[in-house]
Chains A and B, each alone.
Chain A
Amino acid sequence: GIQVEQSPPDLILQEGANSTLRCNFSDSVNNLQWFHQNPWGQLINLFYIPSGTKQNGRLSATTVATERYSLLYISSSQTTDSGVYFCAVAQIYNQGGKLIFGQGTELSVKP
C-alpha cells in the first residue's frame, strides 16, 4: 500500500516565525489533503491539493505529483496555529478512495 511520511515530527516556533512541513508519498494519488487537528481534536480541512499550488491567507501548499511530495507553508505563525498537521493521500479506486494518513507534524507556537 501507499506509504506517507511527514517531516519534521515536531516543531516549536516563536510567534511570527515561518515554517515548512513536508509530506512524501510512495505512489501516484488522486487526492492529497492537508488537515489541522486543533487541541480539541477537531480536524480542519486546510487544502485539497493533488497537484499544483494553493494559498489561503498565511497558509499555502504545493504538491509536485511527479516527484511525490507536498509542502505546507505557514507564514507569520500565531499561537492558534498550534496542533497537529496531517497529510493524507488517496487513490480513488482503492477502497473507495480511503485516505491514508501520515503520522503528523506536531506544531507548537510560543507567544
Chain B
Amino acid sequence: NAGVTQTPKFRILKIGQSMTLQCTQDMNHNYMYWYRQDPGMGLKLIYYSVGAGITDKGEVPNGYNVSRSTTEDFPLRLELAAPSQTSVYFCASSSTSGGSYEQYFGPGTRLTVT
C-alpha cells in the first residue's frame, strides 16, 4: 500500500492564479480530510468528506473548493491564490469501521503564493 499520496510536493503560485492539489489513498478509507499548517502552528481543517459525493467545510474553508467523485481521490482547488494561502497542505484519510478512527497523513504540499 502506498497509503496517502499527494502531488505536487512543492509549488510557487503568483497572486490570482489557480491550482489543484491532488490527494489519493489506497486504503479504501471512507473519510478524507484537507488540513493546512502555517509556520510554527498545528494543523487546521479546511474541508472533509465522509464518502464519495459528500463534502463539508472545516474551520478555514474560504478560498478553497473540494470534490469527491471516487473513494480514492479528494482534490483541493485553490481559486485566485492569495499570499495568506502560503502554507503546507496535508491530506489525510481514516476509516470508521472496526472501532479505530486513526488518521493517516500524506507527505504534504508546500505552497508559496507571491
A-to-B contact residues, CB < 8 Å: 4, 30-31, 33, 35, 41-43, 45, 48, 50, 86, 88, 90, 92, 95-99, 101-104
B-to-A contact residues, CB < 8 Å: 31, 33, 35, 41-45, 48-50, 56, 58-59, 88, 90, 92, 94, 96, 100-105, 107-108, 110
Question: Which residue of chain B lies nearest to A29 when distances are taken between CB atoms in the complex?
Answer: B101
B58's partner among A88, A92, A95 (CB-CB below 8 A) is: A95
Whether A102 pairs with B42 at a CB distance below 8 angstroms is yes
Whether A95 pairs with B45 at a CB distance below 8 angstroms is yes
Whether B42 pairs with A103 at a CB distance below 8 angstroms is yes
How far is B104's CA from A45's CA once the two chains are assembled, in angstroms? Answer: 7
Whether A90 pairs with B101 at a CB distance below 8 angstroms is yes
How far is B90's CA from A103's CA once the two chains are assembled, in angstroms? Answer: 17
Which residues on A sit within 8 Å (CB–CB) of B90?
Answer: 43
Tell me the dominant secondary structure on chain A's binding face.
loop
B94's partner among A4, A43, A50, A97 (CB-CB below 8 A) is: A97
Tell me whether A42 and B58 are in contact in the complex, defined as CB-CB below 8 angstroms, given that A88-B42, A96-B50 are known contacts: no
Whether A42 pairs with B108 at a CB distance below 8 angstroms is yes
Tell me whether A97 and B96 are in contact in the complex, defined as CB-CB below 8 angstroms, given that A33-B102, A41-B110 are known contacts: yes
Which residues on B sit within 8 Å (CB–CB) of A48?
Answer: 100-102
**19 sampled A-B residue pairs with Cβ under 8 A:** A31-B103, A41-B110, A45-B105, A48-B100, A50-B101, A95-B48, A96-B31, A96-B33, A96-B48, A96-B50, A96-B56, A97-B94, A97-B101, A98-B58, A99-B43, A101-B42, A101-B44, A102-B42, A104-B42
How far is B41's CA from A104's CA once the two chains are assembled, in angstroms? Answer: 8
B101's partner among A4, A92, A101 (CB-CB below 8 A) is: A92
How far is B32's CA from A95's CA once the two chains are assembled, in angstroms? Answer: 11
Question: Which residue of chain B lies nearest to A91 when distances are taken between CB atoms in the complex?
Answer: B101
How far is B107's CA from A41's CA once the two chains are assembled, in angstroms? Answer: 8
Q: What 9 A-B pairs have minimum CB-CB distances, sorted nearest first?
A: A101-B42, A48-B102, A98-B45, A96-B48, A31-B101, A43-B105, A101-B43, A96-B50, A97-B101
